[in-house]
Amino acid sequence: MTSETTAARLVEFDDAGLETWCDDETFEVTGARIGEYAAATNDPIEAHLAGKVASPVFAIVPVFEAMMMPVIEVAPMDIFGRVVHGEQDFHFHRAIQPGDKLVSRAKATGYTSRSNGTAITILIECRTEDGELVNEQYLTAFFRNIDAGKTVGAAAPAHKFDENLRAQPPVAVVPQHVDDDQTFRYSPASGDPVPLHLDDQVAKDAGLPGIIAHGLCTMAFASWAVLTEVGGSDVNRLKRFAVRFAKMVFPGDDLETRIWKVGSANGVTTYAFETVRGEDVVLSDGLAEIAD
């Protein structure tokens, strides 16, 4: 492959679109939808399956319509075929409950130009109708082989895995399996209709071997692994949960989530984790903060 085919394309981003909140999106939470999402992510925690309290990554469902709108204000439409979900970082103020009427909004806070592409950081706020902050989320949208030519504004908070942790064994290792019908269950539960996850021919036309699992579904797998092993299966204790989406996951894959204890301070214990498929790391730079 020549350097011409791998060189990043120089594209001008619109800085005027930064720090501009999108219109509010509203969502009413039901116990049935909470339970459907838990079942669609193979979550074993009874409170989630029964719809009593939402699992951590369910937080993406109420904000789904708002989360990508700010990207359109910054990046030109003709490069959207190159965008992938790079990272996701949830900061929880309280768990989502059935009956919540939530209002979400999002804005682009900045973008970072790298040798292999450009990352746009989106900040999402989710509140109740009364204004109570339920969670904040940082989404990183990464445009492959696109060079914005500069770095502007604020990036998402860091959550880099400390490689020194590998000198000690993980505190827990959780085997997990992606079902053959996983994407077809996850799509309606999450509200994500993207055909790469549902239509084999569309996926192959995009250069993939077949349909791929939703990255946030894999993240949800990791969340229940962390909660069941080191969080007492209590979502109310989870204060932060972040990952980088490192490799694609496919229906039928066998995964393993490995968890390391980092340390404790101010009543919160921090854990690092990763999810792997054999030798491939599919979720990297995992970070979980759990109230003691």
- Dump pLDDT digits (tens) for 220-276: 999 999 999 999 999 999 999 999 999 999 999 999 999 999 999 999 999 999 999
Q: What is the mean pLDDT of residues 120-148?
A: 96
Q: What is the mean pLDDT of residues 66-84?
A: 91
Separation in Å, CA 289 to CA 28, 121, 272: 27, 21, 9
CB-neighbour burial class of residue 268 (10 A; exposed 0-12, middle 13-18, buried 19+): middle
pLDDT value, residue 6: 61
Average pLDDT, the chain: 95
Whether the predicted pLDDT of 4 surpasses 70: no
pLDDT value, residue 208: 86
Percentage of residues in the chain with pLDDT exceeding 90?
Answer: 89
- The 3-state secondary structure of 189-202, one letter per residue: HHCCCCHHHCCHHH
84 or 58, which is more confident: 58
Instruction: Give per-residue pLDDT as tens, 34-50.
Output: 999 999 999 999 999 99
pLDDT value, residue 80: 86
Whether the predicted pLDDT of 3 surpasses 90: no
DSSP type of residue 22: P
pLDDT band at 196 (very low <50, low <70, confident <90, very high): confident
Pairing type for strands 268-277 and 172-177 reads: unpaired
Whether the predicted pLDDT of 111 surpasses 90: yes
Q: What is the mean pLDDT of residues 211-217?
A: 96
Tokens 């079902």 correspond to: 179
Q: What is the mean pLDDT of residues 54-71?
A: 95
pLDDT value, residue 215: 96
Q: What is the mean pLDDT of residues 180-206?
A: 92
Whether the predicted pLDDT of 1 surpasses 60: no
Task: Residue 232: count other Cβ atoms within 10 Å of its Cβ.
Answer: 11
Lowest mean pLDDT among 1-10, 131-140, 223-232: 1-10
Amino acid at 189: A
Instruction: Give per-residue pLDDT as tens, 157-190.
Output: 999 999 999 999 999 999 999 999 999 999 999 9
**Residue 57, Ramachandran bin (φ over 0: left; ψ between -120 and 50: alpha; else beta):** alpha
Report the candidate in 257, 255, 233, 208 with the shortest Cα–Cα distance to residue 84. Answer: 208
Q: What is the mean pLDDT of residues 127-151?
A: 96
Residue 170, token pair as written in the block: 């993980």
Q: What is the mean pLDDT of residues 20-35?
A: 97
CA–CA distance, 273 with 257 (Å, rounded to integer): 7
